[in-house]
Amino acid sequence: MAEVQSYRLFNVQLLHKSHVSPSLLSLVFGGPDVANMKCDSPDQRIKMLFPSEDGSIPSLPEHGQWYSLLQELPKEKRPIVRTYTLRHVDRERQQVTVEFVSHGTEGPASAWAISSQSGDKIQIVAPNADYPADSGGYEWTPPAGLRQGLIIADETAIPAARGILELLSKQQNPPEIQAFFEVPEQGDCVDLSEFCFAKIHWLPRKAVNARHGECLLKAVSECAKLPTAAGITETVNEEAEGELLWDKATTASNAFYGWVAAESSVVKMLRRYLIGECGVSHDAINFMAYWSKGRER
């Protein structure tokens, strides 16, 4: 009997899409396979397999190691793979939602999302509901009874950040949350007033003609309320050139917990500030490079 995999391949087709905001598209996929998909966390990562360079529709076998099967294909027929956040899974209705940043047609994923039509087929590698344990693939693991949290995101991490707020809102006594969200334009600053436990700073770049990340760095340095225990600065180790930053928090303290996800260079600068200058413990905050300038998205 084959070993049950924590992540498996799912065949889906696009049902419909809509705009969450000017820069964010919501795509709903469906198919019988989704009845066996699960989501363990609001920042659950998945792999999406888009048509290959020659236009071939992804059709890897459902069983077996998907990545090995992918590598066996000729390059021109190999599906293009990108990482996204699993926004929502409805196993009963056999539907899964993924949100895409609409940044033109220069990247294969964005180009596909913009031009996609109902009925278009793709494949998704996502957590397997038949797997008896935690499938992993996420970083939001706050300690029980969290009192103060910090969430920092650019537009690529907004779907996960909103999912975190939705999850926290279900608690009887949600923690005090500071959130800093940088987005392309004013219209992307959607109403999140329902999350009354969160102080949300919307930071549209075009409104102040800022470069990517500038608004986040300025707002965090001027407005972030950091834990009183901070103050002992730590050495910040730098990654090698081209290496993406991915630091996972390991603290068990419920006093403070942070989650930072954005473009690679921005995340590095935020880590230098929060840990190197402000003295926030590196054990209490996640730093994740969701993408890097110069790499296709």
Q: Is 81 exposed, middle or buried (0-12, 13-18, 19+ CB in 10 A)?
A: middle
Tell me the domain boundaries of the chain. 7-127, 148-291
CATH architecture of 148-291: 3-Layer(aba) Sandwich (3.40)
Quick one: which of 193, 199, 159 has its CA closest to 176? 199
d(CA 79, CA 60): 9
For the domain spanning 7-127, the CATH number is: 2.40.30.10
pLDDT digits over 44-83, tens only? 999 999 999 898 999 998 877 899 989 999 999 999 999 9
pLDDT digits over 155-213, tens only? 999 999 999 999 999 999 999 999 999 999 999 999 999 999 999 999 999 999 999 99
d(CA 45, CA 140): 11
Those residues with Cβ within 8 angstroms of residue 95's Cβ, 6 or more apart along the chain or in another chain: 15, 28, 29, 30, 34, 89
Average model confidence (pLDDT) for the chain? 91
Backbone angles phi, psi at 127, to 5 degrees: -60, 140
CA-to-CA dists, residue 167 to 11, 87, 216, angstroms: 27, 12, 24
Give alpha helix (H) positions in the chain: 66-71, 108-115, 158-169, 205-208, 214-223, 264-271
238 pLDDT more than 80: no
The count of other CB atoms within 10 Å of the CB of residue 20 is: 17
Residue 23, token pair as written in the block: 């820069």
User: What's the N-to-C CA distance of the chain in angstroms?
Assistant: 38
Question: Is the fold of 7-127 the same as that of 148-291?
Answer: no
